[in-house]
Chains A and B, each alone.
Chain A
């Protein structure tokens, strides 16, 4: 009887301690619910602003924005207006116009808890409407026996031009202050449609930049943007 009591008591004690242990496990599980913030981020390209100040022949502005759609995907867009005068050896022209680019970014960076930095790649589709003014040009003559012809002041304006292109983006965005991000991105553009004027060529396209003999172009921006959080979402623990 004495032994039986001892046995039962031990059994109850064990059960109680197990129960306590089980409760303890449950408690730690609910201590820190991990949340991710979702919202819109909008900003401005300060590289274009700076160039507008120090480059006499350039004036441009680009507004950028993105919206966090899922943990890793962002809808992203850029809207800009540029005017650039290009002085080549044989030509001088001014391109003026507006462009829009829209697409998405994929964040490939695995953030630590509470951080929202990005190392991303993305795709855009861009479109621009613009005009080109041929300011002056030279006549190329490989046999100037009678002397070279003087420069021709033209001033002819080619209006209603347009172009479309696809863009691959690679960049980083880092949160420098609460909700303030600084970002840098480089872009490789591929021209898909180009409405060129009669008697001239689209040598510079706003948003696409300089055109080369082929279809490719390059670009970059340096942005400062503000993140406006709209809602929080609890991250579900990954099933193991």
Chain B
């Protein structure tokens, strides 16, 4: 009887193992954001921190505020092949007169990659932009230039775009 008791106990644990128990770990590489690094235009190998930079999509009221950092992540649209993002210099200050909007237009192809049972798939971006057509030129761009460092945006472990200002 003792042996049967043990068997039943093991059976219970075996059945518990069938429960839906896995949740997508936040450390897993899922749909990536574009990683952008800011460099000094005068000395192109040194990183330069941005201050009160706001990144917002046209038509959106909410955006992302970055200050005191040289590396940022921005989201891209997963349902379209094109994303416009406004990079507003001094956008984080209450004073609107010093705001300077530069717009970047990302064009890309989309691809779905299997991640895991819990996470499902991630959607990755392969940039079709050239270095020159990424930035929308206006009369007073605060960015000097943009360079695509890695056109395949598949993980957030590498820098995809370098911006000099």
Residues of chain A touching chain B, judged by Cβ–Cβ distance below 8 Å, are 88-91, 108, 119, 137-147, 149-150, 152, 170-172, 184, 186, 188, 199-201, 203, 209-210, 212, 218-220
**Does B3 lie within 8 Å of A90, measured CB to CB?**
no
User: Which of B87-95, B98-106, B110-118 participates in binding chain A?
Assistant: B110-118
Q: Give the contact-size bracket for chain B.
A: 35 or more
**Does A186 lie within 8 Å of B31, measured CB to CB?**
no
Q: List 21 A-B contacts (CB under 8 A).
A: A88-B117, A88-B118, A90-B118, A90-B119, A91-B117, A91-B121, A140-B119, A140-B122, A143-B33, A144-B75, A145-B75, A146-B75, A146-B83, A150-B79, A152-B121, A171-B7, A184-B7, A209-B18, A210-B17, A212-B17, A218-B18
Q: Mark B1-27, 1 if CB is under 8 A from A, else 0.
A: 001100100110011011010001010
Q: Provide the residues of chain A in CB contact with B83, threshold 8 Å.
A: 146
Q: Provide the residues of chain A in CB contact with B113, threshold 8 Å.
A: 199
Query: CB of B123 within 8 A of chain A?
Result: yes
**Does B123 lie within 8 Å of A149, measured CB to CB?**
yes
Residue B120 contacts which of A90, A143, A144 (CB distance < 8 angstroms)? A90
How far in angstroms is the closest Cβ of chain A from B136? 19
CA A206 to CA B78, docked complex, whole Å: 35
Q: Provide the residues of chain A in CB contact with B147, threshold 8 Å.
A: none
**Does A149 lie within 8 Å of B14, measured CB to CB?**
no
Given A90-B119, A108-B3, A145-B75, 9 further pairs, Cβ under 8 A: A90-B24, A137-B120, A137-B121, A139-B112, A143-B73, A146-B79, A152-B121, A199-B113, A201-B116
